[in-house]
Amino acid sequence: MSGGQVAALVRAELRLETRTGDVLRGVAPYAVAALVVLALSVDADTRLLRQIGLGAGGAVLLLFGAQSAARRGLLDTDAVRTLCAVSGVAPGTVLLARVVTTAAMLFALTAVVVPVTVVLFDLTPVGGWWLAATTVLALVGLATLTALAATLVAATSVRAVVAPLLVVPLSVPLLLAVIQIPATVTYGSTPLSWLLLAALVDLVLVTSAVTLAPWLEGVR
Amino acid sequence: MTRYRSTDLVALALLGAGFVAILLAPTDGLQGVLQRLMYAHVPAAWLAYLAFALTLIASIGWLRTRHDRWDHLAVGAVEVGVFFTGLALVLGSVWGKPVWGVWWTWDARLVTTALLFLVYSGYLALRRGIDDPRVRADRAAVLGIVAFVQVPIVHFSVVWWRTLHQPPTVLRPGDPTMDHTMLAVLLLNVVAYSAVFVTLLRRRMDLARGERALEQGRLAPDAPVAGDAVVAPLPEGGERG
C-alpha cells in the first residue's frame, strides 16, 4: 500500500468533488432542509426540541452521509478502475483512498449539519472531549462503511437505492455511541464504554475492508 | 409440472404434527393462548440465525473455491433467512400488541432484528443490481461475511442491554427455564420448521442453478451451439449460399 498513491487518488477525487459538488452542493442543502422540517414537525416546544436535537442531527447526518456512497466518483468509472488495476495499484490502496475521500466529505457535511442543529434545536454542548472523540471515531467508521458500500454497488444499476440500505442499518451502533454520550455524562457516568463501542466498530470495519479488498476490487 | 420430493412430504407431515402438538400443549397460566405463538416465533428466529450462518460459510466457500454451488447456497440461505426473520418479526409484533400493549417498541432485540432484516434485504437488492455473475457472487460474498456480525449482536442483545424481550430460555448454559412439556412441543416445531427450511433451501438452490444456466446461455449468444459443425449436404453441382 503506497501513501503517495492514496494521496494522488484522494486529491483527484476531491478535485472532482469541488467541480461537481455532489455532496456539498447536492446533499448538504437537503440535509439542512430535513433538519428544518424535523424542527418544524415538533412545533415550538423548545424543551422537546432540545431533547431530540442530538438524535435528529445524528440521524440526518447518517442518512445524508450514506448518500455519499451513492455518489459516482472517479474510482467508480471503469476506465480509472482498469487503469489502477493495470498500473499495479493495490486494491487496499484504492479502498483506502475511497475511505479518506468519504471521510473528508463526511467531515465537511458535519461542519454544515452541526451548527444548523445547534441553532434549530437550541442545543448546549454536553460531553466535551468525549463527544468530540466519539464523533470523530463514528465519522471514520461511517466513512469506512460508506466506502465499502460504494465499492459493493460500484457500476450497478441500483447504487442509489442499495448503498444507503447497506450503510444505514450497519452504522446504527456508531449513531448510538454518539447520542448516548451527553445522557451518560449528565447522569454522572464515564462514557468510556460508548467511545470503546465506536472504536470497536471501526476496528471491525477496517479489518473487514483490508481483508476483503482484493475480492471487492475484482483482483482475485 | 412440479415434482415433489420425499423430503417435501416429510416436511409437510412434520409441520402438521407440530401444529397438532401446539393445540395439545398446556396453556400458559399468564399469557393464555397467545403464548402458543412462541412455538412458531422461536423456530423462525433460530432458523434465521442458521440461514445467515450458512450464508457466511457459503460466502467464504465461494471466495476460496469459486464453485457455483457455494453461491447458490448463499443466495438460497439469504432468501429463506429473510423470510424467517420477517416471520419472527411479524409473529413477535402480533404477540406484543396484547401483551406489551404496542405493536412495536424500541427494545434492543426488536431493533437489532429489524436491522438484520434490512441488511439481508440489502444483500438481495444488491444481487439484483449486478448482471455479471462472477462480480455479483464476489460482492455478495463480501457482504455475506460482513453482515454476519449482526447475528451475535441480535442473540446477545437481551443479555447486553436491559430489554422488554425475555432473555434466552433454551439457548443458554444450564437447564432451560421452561416447562418440559412446552419444551418438547417447541423442539418438535423446531424440527418441523427445520424440515421446511431444508425444503425451501433446496428448491431455491435448484432455481439458482437454473438461473445460472439461463445467464450462461444469454451471456454467450455467439458461442457455437451443439450441431453447429454439422452442415447440410450440398445438392449435386450446387453452391453454398
CB-based contact B138:B144 (threshold 8 Å): no
Mean pLDDT of A201-212: 89
Strand partners, B28: B32
Q: Is the pLDDT of residue B1 over 60?
A: no
Q: What is the pLDDT of residue B237?
A: 64
d(CA A32, CA A205): 28
Q: How many domains does chain B have?
A: 1
The C-alpha of A165 sits at a distance from chain B's nearest C-alpha, in angstroms, of: 6
Residue B221 lies in a domain: no
Q: What is the pLDDT of residue A4?
A: 87
Q: Is the pLDDT of residue B88 over 80?
A: yes
Range with the largest mean pLDDT of A157-161, B67-71, B181-185, B209-213: B67-71
Residue B229 lies in a domain: no
d(CA B14, CA A66): 45
Q: What is the pLDDT of residue B181?
A: 84
Residue B150 lies in a domain: yes
Mean pLDDT of A165-189: 86
Q: Is the pLDDT of residue B68 over 80?
A: yes
CB-based contact B170:B178 (threshold 8 Å): yes
The domain in which residue B136 lies consists of: 36-167+176-213
The owner of cell 459538488 is: A21
Residue B19 lies in a domain: no
What letter would DSSP give residue B162? -
Question: Which residues in A lie closer than 8 A to residue B119 (C-beta atoms)?
Answer: 166, 169-170
Compare all CA atoms of chain A with the CA of B125 and give the residue at the minimum distance: A162
Q: What is the pLDDT of residues A48-73, one digit of tens each?
A: 888 888 889 988 988 888 887 677 78
* % of chain B with per-residue pLDDT over 90: 44
Rounded to whole angstroms, the maximal C-alpha distance in chain A is 59
Judged by CB atoms closer than 8 Å, whether chains meet at A158 and B126 is answered as: yes
- Predicted structure pTM score: 0.81
Q: What is the pLDDT of residue A21?
A: 83
More confident residue, B212 or A220: B212
Q: What is the pLDDT of residue B143?
A: 92
The C-alpha of B138 sits at a distance from chain A's nearest C-alpha, in angstroms, of: 6
Residue B84 lies in a domain: yes
What letter would DSSP give residue B230? -
Question: Which residues in B lie closer than 8 A to residue A215 (C-beta atoms)?
Answer: 63, 138, 141-142
Question: Which residues in B lie closer than 8 A to residue A208 (C-beta atoms)?
Answer: 145-146
List the single range of A176-185, B18-27, B83-92, B162-171 with lowest mean pLDDT.
B162-171
Residue B92 lies in a domain: yes
| Interface contacts (A, B; CB < 8 Å) | 62
CA atoms within 13 A on the CB side of B144: 34
Residue B24 lies in a domain: no
Residue B187's closest CA among B92, B46, B35? B46
A72 φ, ψ (degrees, to nearest 5) = -95, 100
More confident residue, A157 or B239: A157
The owner of cell 466513512 is: A143
Residue B47 lies in a domain: yes
What letter would DSSP give residue B225? P
Q: Which three cell numbers stand for residue B197?
A: 427450511
Q: Looking at this predicted complex, what is its ipTM?
A: 0.77
**Strand, coil or helix: B28:** strand
Mean pLDDT score across all residues of chain B: 85
Mean pLDDT of A137-162: 86
Q: What is the pLDDT of residue A180?
A: 86
Mean pLDDT of A110-132: 88
Q: Is the pLDDT of residue B219 over 70?
A: no
Q: What is the pLDDT of residue A90?
A: 85
What does each C-alpha distance from B24 to B20, B36, B181, B207 come to in angstroms? 6, 10, 10, 38
Q: Is B115 on the interface with A (CB under 8 A)?
A: yes
Q: Which three cell numbers stand for residue B40?
A: 412458531
List the single range of A206-220, B30-44, B204-218 with lowest mean pLDDT.
A206-220
Question: Which residues in A lie closer than 8 A to residue B118 (C-beta atoms)?
Answer: 165, 168-169
Q: What is the pLDDT of residue A68?
A: 72
Q: Is the pLDDT of residue A219 over 80?
A: no
CB-based contact B136:B130 (threshold 8 Å): yes
Mean pLDDT of B153-165: 77
AA letter at A63? L
Q: What is the pLDDT of residue B238?
A: 60
Using pLDDT thresholds of 50, 70 and 90, give the confidence band for residue A213. Answer: confident
Residue A153's closest CA among B224, B75, B125? B125
Q: Is B68 on the interface with A (CB under 8 A)?
A: no
Question: Which residues in B lie closer than 8 A to residue A168 (C-beta atoms)?
Answer: 118
Q: What is the pLDDT of residue B119?
A: 92
d(CA A94, CA A75): 8
Mean pLDDT of A15-38: 88
Three-class DSSP labels, chain A = CCHHHHHHHHHHHHHHHHHHCHHHHHHHHHHHHHHHHHHHHCCCCHHHHHHHHHHHHHHHHHHHHHHHHCCCCHHHCHHHHHHHHHCCCCHHHHHHHHHHHHHHHHHHHHHHHHHHHHHHHCCCCCCHHHHHHHHHHHHHHHHHHHHHHHHHHCCCCCHHHHHHHHHHHHCHHHHHHHHHHHHHHHCCCCCHHHHHHHHHHHHHHHHHHHHHHHHHCCCC
Using pLDDT thresholds of 50, 70 and 90, give the confidence band for residue B172. Answer: low
Q: What is the pLDDT of residue B240?
A: 56
Judged by CB atoms closer than 8 Å, whether chains meet at B135 and A218 is answered as: yes
